[in-house]
Structure 1
Amino acid sequence: MTDKTNPFLIPFQTYRETPPYSAIRNEHFIPAIEQGIEECKNIVNTITSNPDLPTFSNTIVALERDGEILNRVCGVFFPLLSAMNDDEKMDISLKASSLLSEYSTDLILNDKLWQRVKYVHDHTDATKLSPEDATLLNNTYEFFERNGALLQGADRDRYKEIRAELSSLTTKFAQNVVKELPTYEIFLQETDLEGLPQSAIEGAAFAAKQKGREGEYLFTLDQPVYMSFMRYSDRDDLRKHMYMLYNRRNTTGTFSNTELLTRIASLRLELAKLLGHETYAHYSLVHTMAKDPEHVYALLNKLAEAYRKPMRKELKDIEEYATKVNGHHTKITPWNYAYYSNKLRTHRFGFDPEEFRPYFRLENVINGIFGLASRLYGLQFKKSENIEPYHPDVVAYEVSDQDGKYLGILYTDFFPRPGKQPGAWMTDIKEQQILPDGTDSRPLVSIVMNFTKPTDTKPSLLTPQEVRTFLHEFGHALHSLLSKVNYKSLSGTNVYRDFVELPSQFNENFLTHREFLDTFAFHYETGEPIPQQLIDRWKESQQFGAAYDCMRQLYFGFLDMAWHTITAPHNDVAQLEQEATKEVQAFEPLPGCMVSPQFSHIFAGGYAAGYYSYKWAEVLDADAFSVFEREGVFNKDTAMRFRHEILEKGGSEKPDELYRRFRKGEPSIDALLKRDGIIK
């Protein structure tokens, strides 16, 4: 293969410089990564061999403008690894992660480069720099300092070994989660389908037909399939079977992650200690709003204390209802909680998520959510026929400002398929930055979800929770699309981890507002708008189960912190999980059921000692939306202040300062507690 055949080695000659996916082959990735690394090494060599005194421009900015080849290939490969994986890509990812980890370690431990960075840091008056330049300088200096630049001799060698092993292990962890999920196929007969909604039955019949087993019904552990089954199936035995399968994933067998995760946690602890920190959490939290584990635990414990009694009351109410309905005592279990909770919600409020599906046709929801961004921020979205997607299900949109100025490209990828991770996420294919010639290089962004796919007879119809997920990921996308900074390392979602969820979770708050729903919630067959009565019941039910949901998130938060505040290696996964979460558990743990072995967020997804950030950001999002409620939910001035102070700024300034400028004050936890009905 010659250089000319590899599309990554030159700028993409396509509309808006979008990836030419049909020209990209798996065999292109590793050579492009290798050549990209060489390009980066040449840039670093140019910096370190410069005879002039180190300056902000010839060292810090020069390092920020790293290799274009590596940016292109990584911007394509890693999103594909999550959205269109296969065995070959998994093998490539191991090699790629190894190459990138080795290069990153060599960069960090380059003494000549470190000395230049340190010189600029020590000899520059940061007060004379712009806030963004000062942030870049400080971030660059701390990046080296926090990643081993001060280590020498055996400590430096060990640091390199740890980074290499962690890169391999975290990649393997993620692969095991992806590989095991499709191995679960539960084929049922018509007599097994009691209670299931027609949409779930049709989807299962369609899935079985595709497997050559027409007349049967295939259920998998894909999130929308699993959740629908647990919520609606009348068969307690089948719900228990599904629950045990789902919660024992990656605990034993070929794809077990138990040994991997204990090794990952131990290596992270060793790395933190090498760098002078008590635990990995102490090391990881320096660059966050929380600052240290003590502040994280303070938030988690405060929320646990506030929500514990309300959760117990919720569980008691559900158990009393189930007992009354069944005519005998019915204990609430992990596998019947969703079922009876949904029934009580329906009984108490007349609320059933399935009632909303006919009004939430995906195509209409897309128009509504795009319209919300247009109303708030003046954005325009146009489906592009000039851009090649990476899969036939994917649609690309060109995004422009109210004055027609181009802002970026948004790819939407909505449906499950083999090789695609479960869940939902947003990712940058290319990040916004100002190029050396002054050109504003705009971002390429994708949002990826796993909604129920259309069948031969029915379009994709969403539940309220799925619309909420769409709003959430779209909020992340807006953070990147509206970015207006100079440096890509500070653009879009490149912010403190406990700030990154603010734009996404904030966006969810519009979901139940009639003015928003009126723009898209029409019955897919009759065209009738969603009835006000249905919306009223929905709003009334919003606080139902809020305490349980919060305690579930706190379970994840405490578990994450437990793994990353260990002070010695810990190999008993079940024991640590039980001990860490006992104060927030809704149910006694079941044998073999654990979260840790499938907890990709913290063992493979960048949220190590960071899962608390969802709740941290939830405090901020509720507080921020209270400003909108006070000034007008669709107040253009308020929206544009949120755009200018939060969405456009990325990580160019400290998030505390950005938020205070938008809020015109300090955030309070009260808005969240009021929203969830914990306080009046």
Structure 2
Amino acid sequence: MSDTPQSPPSASDLDNPLLKPWQTPFQTPPFGEIAPEHFLPAFEQAFTDHAAEVAAITHDPSAPDFANTITALERSGKLLAKVSAVFYDLVSAHSNPALLEIDKDVSLRMARHWNPILMNAVLFGRIAQLHENRVTLGLTSEQLRLLERTYTRFHRAGAGLDDTAKTRMAEINERLAHLGTSFSHHLLGDEQEWFLELGEGDLDGLPGSFVAAARAAAEERGLPGKAIVTTSRSSMEPFLKSSHRRDLREKVYKAFTARGDNGNANDNNATIVEILALREESAKLLGYPTFAVYRLEDSMARTPQAARDLLERVWKPARARALADRDALQALIAEEGGNFTLAPWDWRYYAEKLRHVRADFDDAAIKPYLTLEGMIAAAFDCAHRLFGLTFSERKDIPVWHPDVRVWEVKDASGKHRALFYGDYFARASKRSGAWMTSLRDQQKLDGEVAPQVVNVCNFAKGAEGQPALLSPDDARTLFHEFGHGLHGMASNVTYPSLSGTSVFTDFVELPSQLYEHWQEQPQVLRQFAKHYQTGEPLPDDLLTRFLAARQFNQGFATVEFVASALIDLEFHSQPASEVRDVRAFERTELEKIGMPAEISLRHRPTQFGHIFSGDHYAAGYYSYMWSEVMDADAFGAFEESGDIFDPATAKRLHDDIYSSGGSRDPEEAYVAFRGRKPEPEALLRRRGLVEEPQAA
């Protein structure tokens, strides 16, 4: 609310770039001017401003209406959103010890700021009154959706609890905020501390592109002339696939899977036990038997059993395929004269060999054609052909690290639509994984506000003067995160709370996973996959072999994912008192589902940031597979049209999925696009999994 009285700026405030209007192109954050010491004063001012805005809404003497309550809430907290977006971008993508210390403080202050707002009985009373009378208010469909989501948010935060329960809920929220931050800091600490230096005798089997990336990683860590393997997935995966040195593969694998589980200052076991107990207590305060029941009530799945049913339907054929592949890998070891049993650190290495035998293909053959630059161009071109978007690189936008690049995005009419930031390379200051976020969300509440969208990845750099080369998995990750980015860039809603990716967790992965399909289309690869040295396009025979090999090793990939999703559900469904020993719980649950000993979880509990760094995916990791049912089915609409860029299908995709944000029910949005509900069989076909008898 712009007319709310605010504190006059102090002299120090006037020197704080976070508290001044940004005189930059498109009012982007002036990263070069922002220092760690600016954040706490900026947060203090933002908390004060927002609290005053909310108090004015709460105590408005006028009868509650949509404008003075719901719209006013949407207008509140602009400074807090602005400061938070910059802060959390830096904490995740380019942290330092000072920022990490501030993060501990801010996470607690953030919980203490939001608790009294979301549990404010008077404010909730205004919202509840509007919600009760919603059919008489003459609201648009988007306004009705916003009212429902606002009511649900406050109700699920505990606004309807008695004072004693609210006090306890606030304590729980503060403690969970601290524990989530600690979990992510511990994980980053273990990732920063471990690396394996490779001597000249340790390079057997490693392609030149990997060695170049290993040298670049060493340079980045202040070890010029050396070569190292790190626990970044983009370093670990290709090393395990290529290295002839079984002893080194074992070291790297064990370091990767032991992150957060080393009994050191970064150990996450006790943190997990406490998080689970507090989540269960909060769910019970709200009247739910478990956190999973609480969490999934507000999702497309609705119940833990519905999520479990999908996962178990996929588990059976995936496990059968994985066990058959295991036997084939063991036979390959025997053929080579090996007298050892296949171990988890051997799977990727021998799977690559088996793929070469069965499909005459390995990742190393195609990697020289998958340059980072080429795949960025491919992602942009697909967005242009589908949605009419164009991307022009800007060199005048401030960035948080020299590697970060920025593009201006325009629509088919030439109108500015968004800014897109790409931060692609691994570094010690960046947490592992890949993600999309935003520095500013799209909205039209008070004039057009264009989004500023960020993609962060952890790809390995090329050697000096050489381009970065991506594995097929890396290229798919780039398209995945860009799909999330498009969800933010294409957003066309009025209200900030419904913008872009503000949708159910088990729907948010649809735009990202669907976009992956275009990366592996022959006409896209023929145009953009070119050899980094010769510029020659991907040969047809290699393209054919790549496409034929896509479903290879899907038993492994599906098993490692589904097992992680099932364990997530069990962590949040079983009594927290049963989880006193995280390792023992993990072991027991894996035994229950018959997890092959040669495959580990995609995310072991102590490094499972999706579910323990915060609660966004807690009891919700299944969402990726729930969305995959939709994305496999949705791409079928393009295949049925005979044109993967069919204009009519693309327009429905844009209007019903990418641009609508959270302004409509997700199932309704999907049916509007596809004309029916999704068919789960599409997922099994895509992964090449068919129902087979359970292997012994």
Task: Return the letter of the residue paired with 1:672.
Answer: L
> Corresponding residue for 1:287?
298
Are 1:397 and 2:377 counterparts?
Answer: no
Q: Aligned partners of 1:461 and 1:669: how far apart in 2?
A: 34
Per the alignment, in what secondary structure is the counterpart of residue 228 of structure 2?
strand
Specify which of 482, 491, 510 is matched with residue 483 of structure 1: 491
Q: Structure 1, residues 239-261: CA drift from partner, whole Å, max 9, x if none?
A: 11111111111111110000001
Task: Return the letter of the residue paired with 2:234.
Answer: P
Q: Aligned partners of 2:636 and 2:588: how far apart in 1?
A: 36
> Corresponding residue for 1:187?
197
Shift of 1:212: 6.5
Q: Structure 1, residues 459-490: CA drift from partner, whole Å, max 9, x if none?
A: 21111111111000000000000000011111
Specify which of 608, 620, 623 is matched with residue 599 of structure 1: 608
Are 1:565 and 2:573 counterparts?
Answer: yes
Q: Aligned partners of 1:279 and 1:653: how far apart in 2?
A: 28
Specify which of 436, 445, 458 is matched with residue 453 of structure 2: 445
Shift of 1:305: 2.1
Task: Return the letter of the residue paired with 1:573.
Answer: V
Q: Aligned partners of 1:206 and 1:398: how far apart in 2?
A: 29
> Corresponding residue for 2:432?
422
> Corresponding residue for 2:4?
none
Per the alignment, in what secondary structure is the counterpart of residue 391 of structure 2?
strand
Count of residues in Structure 1 that have an aligned counterpart in Structure 2? 676
Specify which of 464, 469, 473 is matched with residue 465 of structure 1: 473
> Corresponding residue for 2:7?
none
What residue ranges of structure 2 are gaps of 5+ in the alignment? 1-10, 692-696
Closer/same/farther in 2, CA of residues 393 and 213 from structure 1, 3 Å limit = closer
**Aligned residues of 1:244 and 1:593 also touching (Cα < 8 A):** no
Q: Aligned partners of 1:258 and 1:200: how far apart in 2?
A: 33
**Aligned residues of 2:560 and 2:602 also touching (Cα < 8 A):** no
Shift of 1:627: 1.1
> Corresponding residue for 2:268?
257
> Corresponding residue for 1:7?
17
Q: Aligned partners of 2:370 and 2:590: how far apart in 1?
A: 37
**Aligned residues of 2:442 and 2:496 also touching (Cα < 8 A):** yes
**Aligned residues of 2:284 and 2:290 also touching (Cα < 8 A):** yes
> Corresponding residue for 2:141?
131
> Corresponding residue for 2:236?
226
**Aligned residues of 1:278 and 1:567 also touching (Cα < 8 A):** no
Specify which of 268, 277, 281 is matched with residue 266 of structure 1: 277
Q: Structure 1, residues 319-353: CA drift from partner, whole Å, max 9, x if none?
A: 222221x1355422101000000111012112111
In the superposition, the TM-score normalised over structure 1's length comes to 0.97
Specify which of 634, 643, 665 is matched with residue 624 of structure 1: 634
CA-atom RMSD, angstroms? 1.8
Q: Aligned partners of 1:564 and 1:280: how far apart in 2?
A: 5
> Corresponding residue for 1:68?
78
Shift of 1:580: 2.2
Per the alignment, in what secondary structure is the counterpart of residue 434 of structure 1?
coil
Closer/same/farther in 2, CA of residues 310 and 206 from structure 1, 3 Å limit = closer
Per the alignment, in what secondary structure is the counterpart of residue 450 of structure 1?
strand
Alignment of structure 1 residues 489-638 onto 2, 5 Å: 489-569=497-577, 570-582=579-591, 583=593, 585-587=595-597, 595-605=604-614, 606-631=616-641, 632-638=643-649
What residue ranges of structure 1 are gaps of 5+ in the alignment? none
> Corresponding residue for 1:666?
677
Are 1:278 and 2:286 counterparts?
Answer: no
Q: Aligned partners of 1:159 and 1:49: how far apart in 2?
A: 24
> Corresponding residue for 1:434?
444
Q: Structure 1, residues 140-167: CA drift from partner, whole Å, max 9, x if none?
A: 1111111111112322211111000000
Task: Return the letter of the residue paired with 2:458.
Answer: N
Q: Aligned partners of 1:600 and 1:8: how far apart in 2?
A: 29
Q: Structure 1, residues 154-198: CA drift from partner, whole Å, max 9, x if none?
A: 222111110000000000000110111121121222112211111
**Aligned residues of 1:559 and 1:577 also touching (Cα < 8 A):** yes
Q: Aligned partners of 1:630 and 1:89: how far apart in 2?
A: 50
Closer/same/farther in 2, CA of residues 537 and 356 from structure 1, 3 Å limit = same
Are 1:306 and 2:317 counterparts?
Answer: yes
Comparing 652-661 with 197-206, which one deviates more in the overlay? 197-206
Closer/same/farther in 2, CA of residues 262 and 622 from structure 1, 3 Å limit = same
**Aligned residues of 1:395 and 1:412 also touching (Cα < 8 A):** yes
Closer/same/farther in 2, CA of residues 673 and 193 from structure 1, 3 Å limit = same
> Corresponding residue for 2:334?
323
In the superposition, the TM-score normalised over structure 2's length comes to 0.94
> Corresponding residue for 1:204?
214
Closer/same/farther in 2, CA of residues 13 and 658 from structure 1, 3 Å limit = same
Task: Return the letter of the residue paired with 1:256.
Answer: D
Q: Aligned partners of 1:580 and 1:647: how far apart in 2?
A: 37
Task: Return the letter of the residue paired with 1:154.
Answer: T
Shift of 1:209: 5.6
Q: Aligned partners of 1:571 and 1:227: how far apart in 2?
A: 32
Shift of 1:210: 6.1
Are 1:159 and 2:172 counterparts?
Answer: no
Closer/same/farther in 2, CA of residues 115 and 350 from structure 1, 3 Å limit = same
Specify which of 352, 364, 370 is matched with residue 342 of structure 1: 352
Q: Structure 1, residues 482-503: CA drift from partner, whole Å, max 9, x if none?
A: 0000111111000000000001
